[in-house]
Chains A and B, each alone.
Chain A
Amino acid sequence: MNPSLANRLRIGFAITFALLAGVTVIGVGRLFQLRQDFEDDTTRSFQLEVAGEHLRQAFLVEQAALRGATTDPAVSRFRFERARENADTAAADARELAEGSDAAGLLARRLAAERRWRQQIATPLLRGRAPPPSEQARLAQAVIDSGDRMIAAEGQRREGLREEVSDDTRITALLVGVGLISGLIAAVLLFSGLIASMRRPLEQLVGAAGKLAGGDLRARVKVGGPAETATLGSAFNEMADELQSAYRRVEESRQRLAVTLESLSDGVLTVDPQGIVTDANPAARRLMPAATVGTSVRDLLAGQMPRRRVERLLAGSEEEELHVGGGESILAITASRLGADEGGAVLSIRDISERARLERMKDEFVLTASHELRSPLTSVQGFAELLMLERERLSPKQAETVEIILDNSRHLVRLLNDLLDLARSDAGRLTIKPVPSEVGALVEDVMRTMRPQAESRDQELVQEIEPDLPRVNVEPDRIRQVLVNLLTNAHEYSPDGAMIRVTAARVGEEVEVAVSDDGPGIPAEQLEHIFERFTRGDAGLTQRVGGTGLGLAISKSLVELHGGAIGATSVVDEGSTFRIVLPAIAGAEEDRDAERVVERR
């Protein structure tokens, strides 16, 4: 584990600080001590001097005490003793003070001199024997001289001390200064060393980051230096690894996508938010050679589709069909919008010529087959009718047989007509000739037609037609066909005595006709599929030969062909309501005999 920079720094600074503090403390301490010693010494010296003076004084008093030795020995002795005591005390003090110093020697000589005087002068004097005055003077002088010498020496010594202390102080200060400076230098060195130790790893890191940002995903650093940069270094390496593998994953999936797009048999075009092609896969280039990168999809399609449909296509809501190559091939185009950030869309193009061809073939087949069936049906029905005309000549059994043949042939005819309607509708060939018509009148016609049937089963037909309904553009026969279909269903699936209500009302810009019954109702699962082909209600009710299972599917086609809509609601055991809405004629504009063909979406 690399040592941490922070730790090193801390340690370094701690040491430096300790060093500096130490130097300072020691320096200051030493200075303090020097001063203290100097003061002590000086004080001692002064005290010694003072003691010396005391000695001197005491000696003088001793000498004085001896002056009357010859005349009054007792008094002299007494004074002398007292003076001697003082002198001894002073001597003792001085001895204490001079202990261990140079002055001790001089003091010793002084005291020795004093001792000699006492011995040779004082004692004899006190005993009455006076030594020669020259001797007295000499020895006395010796004492005083040695005392003075001592004092003088002390004075000199003190001078010397002062100088010494000065020097010492200067030296100490110098040393402290040197110590501080070296401490600071050490700190600076430490700091630069640490920075240096960081610099290289950081430079590496900066360099590698730059390379990474520039696109070189292999950039890594050597993990080194103090712990912090080492951690940073390995974190960087991890990040770069992660980036590299993420990039690789993205690249792989991009490649997969690219390969998929290349190999698709459907064309894929990517367009930007302005509708300009940004990418086209090989299939797209094949199917729509004009859709090259940089072309505008709107321009491409403008000639072949109304603007409105182009916009709807690009909005992603519809599948549009495009006829290219002079109608030879048919392309189905759908668009999916891309996410909010990018905008734009992906267009998918499929060649449905084959599908269209097959559908056409199917439609042709159904149409042709239906036609082909009409002649034989004509024969079957016709001859059965002939037989029926002669039923008196038939046995009851035969008559019944013929009736069955006739009923079924009629059923076949209805089925055929319905199939044909649907086939024509699918093939886009169902046409209507709308004229402005009164909905109320149509409803009444149909009610009239249905009344006998309803009454035969005691069913009540009620009509509620709103007054002043706007007219609608419809082919009357066809709408009647739809209404008959709805009423027939209501009649068939309601029990005897039920009520069937037909209402016609204005709803906004449309006219709504509703047929309600209170029959058994239709369960939700059936209701979902009720307008599909060949679905019928519960067969358990009435297996009436009449129903084809196509009635509602045709009604739906017809109503939608008129620009309207059909729907049903039902509650089981309560009844059902079938509604159709037809757009009302707005204002006074009416198209007469406008022919409308199913728009192939």
Chain B
Amino acid sequence: MPRVLIADDSETILLLLRTRLEMEGYEVVTAADGKEVTEALAGSGPESEPDLLLLDAMMPRKSGIDVLRELRDAGVDTPVLIVSAHQGREDIGDTDGLAVSGFISKPIDFDELLRRVAELTRD
């Protein structure tokens, strides 16, 4: 069962995503900000490592992009989907070289989300 880490500063969104993904059978770990993401990853062993990261682009203190950059620099190569209120890539920031696997825009089209998640967590 693939494990997905979701990071978003909105509890409601976290709840929503968790519920939906868990309905599909995924294991879900949540983080409310960049710090919790790093903690969650640090605190996970090889078995409890997430297979996919869903990062909200806009979070207080550290944005999803910054978190990603740090992770990539630290050698974390887990696939990442960026969730953002922006429709186009241009407003999100520079994501070159950060190996972003995809962008999901808000409001979330769950059909598409589930499809991407399934694609990216296929072993």
Mark A residues whose CB is within 8 Å of B: 371-372, 374-379, 381-383, 385-386, 389, 409, 413, 417, 420, 431
Contacts and interface: CB of A to CB of B under 8 A. Distances in A.
A376 B87 CA distance: 16
A374 B110 contact: no
B62 interface: no
Nearest to B16: A382
Contacts of A420: 87
B107 interface: yes
B23 A389 contact: yes
B107 A381 contact: yes
Nearest to A416: B107
B82 to A, nearest CB: 14
Contacts of A383: 16
A385 B110 contact: yes
B43 interface: no
A386 B13 contact: no
B85 A371 contact: yes
A382 B88 contact: no
A377 B106 contact: yes
B86 interface: yes
A386 to B, nearest CB: 6
B87 A375 contact: no
Interface in B1-27: 10, 12-13, 16-17, 19-20, 23
Nearest to B58: A371
A417 B19 contact: no
A375 B16 contact: no
Given A382-B20, A386-B19, A431-B90, A375 B10 contact: yes
A88 to B, nearest CB: 167
B108 interface: yes
A371 B92 CA distance: 12
Contact of A374 (B12, B90, B106): B106
Contacts of B85: 371-372, 374-375
Interface of B: 10, 12-13, 16-17, 19-20, 23, 85-88, 90, 106-108, 110
Contacts of B87: 417, 420
Contacts of B88: 431
Contacts of B107: 374, 377-378, 381-382, 409, 413
A208 to B, nearest CB: 81
A417 B88 CA distance: 12
A371 B20 contact: no
A376 B23 CA distance: 21
A379 B13 contact: yes
Nearest to B9: A375
Nearest to B17: A382
What 9 pairs between A and B have smallest CB-CB spacing? Answer: A374-B85, A374-B106, A382-B16, A378-B107, A379-B12, A371-B85, A378-B106, A377-B107, A413-B107
A413 B107 CA distance: 7
Contacts of A386: 16, 19-20, 23
Contacts of A379: 10, 12-13, 16
B20 A378 contact: no
Contacts of A389: 23
A374 B56 CA distance: 12
A377 B107 CA distance: 6
Contacts of B10: 375, 379
A90 B88 CA distance: 164
A413 B108 CA distance: 10
Nearest to A385: B110
A50 to B, nearest CB: 156
A378 B86 contact: no
A371 B20 CA distance: 23
A372 B106 CA distance: 10
A405 to B, nearest CB: 13
Given A371-B86, A375-B13, A382 B23 contact: no
- Which residue, B13, B20, B106, has most C-beta atoms of chain A within 10 A? B106
Contacts of B106: 374-375, 377-378
A200 B108 CA distance: 105
Contacts of A413: 107
7 contacts: A374-B85, A374-B107, A375-B13, A375-B106, A378-B16, A382-B13, A386-B20
Contacts of B12: 375-376, 379
